[in-house]
């Protein structure tokens, strides 16, 4: 039996089958196997266990890139993890830039 980070496919399939919230379960399985949602969905598809309707309720459309993704919670703005990460980096960079400019202004004022 081939395994994904020590968790074998039998286990993945079993945990998915018994899950009530299948969308959430895909996220959990992705964490458990240190992979990602796409990989888990591929495994499920390969074994004929995946039905897109099962996760339809968990899907949201990202307002950043338009990609459909499995949402961990349905509150707040719909942003996929990749876009959320990119935005966080962007904000950090802007903060750093502001700090640099601030410093330069102070030095010029002396």
Residue ranges that bind Zn ion, judged by CB under 5 A = 62, 64-65, 80, 83
**CB-nearer residue toward Zn ion: 39 or 86:** 86
How near is the Cβ of 68 to Zn ion at its closest, in Å? 10
- Kindly state the tokens that stand for 58: 């968990």
**CB-nearer residue toward Zn ion: 36 or 64:** 64
Instruction: Please answer whether residues 13 and 7 qualify as being in contact, where contact means their C-beta atoms are separated by less than 8 angstroms.
Output: no
How near is the Cβ of 96 to Zn ion at its closest, in Å? 23
User: Residue 87: which residues within 8 A CB-CB, separation 6 or more?
Assistant: 64, 79
- Kindly state the tokens that stand for 69: 């993704």
**CB-nearer residue toward Zn ion: 38 or 46:** 38
């Amino acid at each position: 039996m081939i395994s994904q980070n020590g968790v074998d496919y039998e286990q993945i399939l079993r945990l998915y089958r018994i899950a009530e919230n299948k969308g959430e379960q895909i996220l959990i399985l992705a964490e458990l196997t240190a992979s990602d949602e796409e990989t888990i969905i591929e495994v499920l598809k390969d074994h004929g266990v995946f039905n897109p309707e099962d996760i339809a309720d968990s899907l949201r459309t990202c307002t950043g890139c338009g990609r459909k993704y499995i949402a961990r919670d349905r509150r707040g703005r719909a942003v996929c993890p990749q876009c959320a990460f990119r935005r966080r980096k962007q904000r950090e960079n802007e903060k750093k830039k502001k700090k640099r400019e601030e410093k330069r202004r102070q030095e010029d004022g002396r």
